[in-house]
Structures are given as C-alpha cells and as structure tokens.
Amino acid sequence: MLDLPDLLGALGVALILTAYALLQSERLASASPWYSLANAVGSALILVSLYFDFNLPSALVEGAWLVISLFGLGRSWRARQAAGVRLPRAPT
C-alpha cells in the first residue's frame, strides 16, 4: 500500500502525464493556463514526495519543471490581462 508521500508523488506524475497527453492529442494548448497549472501542481506534488525520499537528480528536474511552469502560468496571466480577459468569479 502506498504511503501519503508516494500517493502524492503518483498523483503529481498523473497530472503531468495527463497534461502532456492532452497537449499531444491537441486537446490542450501549450499556452493554456491549465497546461502550466497542471505541470506546476504535478511537479510540486512530486517535490513533496521527494522531500520524504530524496533523490537529487529528480529534485533538480522537478524544481526546474516547477519554475518553468510558474513562468508559463505568469505569462498566460499577463497575456489575459493585456487582452482584457477576466477570469470568472468564484461562486459565492
């Protein structure tokens, strides 16, 4: 049975692979904020898992993946702001 860190890491891998599969099947654009968000959350979950069972090369890859994904998310957000596109408000 998976412990919590392994479960979180596996969920992170699933998010990243799902986003990549959607990108390759042209169901999700690389400029989509959802693509960057899935990659950022996925890599963060893998980093949580690595905190409990450290592996330097994997931590370096996932750290870079997180930074690059956050850059893409910020770029997408700035493009939406420049275009005057507002995100829907959360229901109250």
The mean pLDDT of 43-65, rounded to a whole number, is 98
Residues 6-18 have pLDDT tens digits of 999 999 999 999 9
Q: State the pTM of this model.
A: 0.87
CB 48 within 8 A of CB 9: yes
The mean pLDDT of 37-43, rounded to a whole number, is 98
Number of helices and strands in the chain (H, E):
3, 0
Cβ-based neighbours of 68, under 8 Å, separated by 6 or more: 39
Query: Alpha-carbon torsion 17, 29, 24, 56, what sign?
Result: negative
Cβ-based neighbours of 13, under 8 Å, separated by 6 or more: 42, 46
CB 35 within 8 A of CB 72: yes
Share of residues in the chain with pLDDT > 90 (%):
79
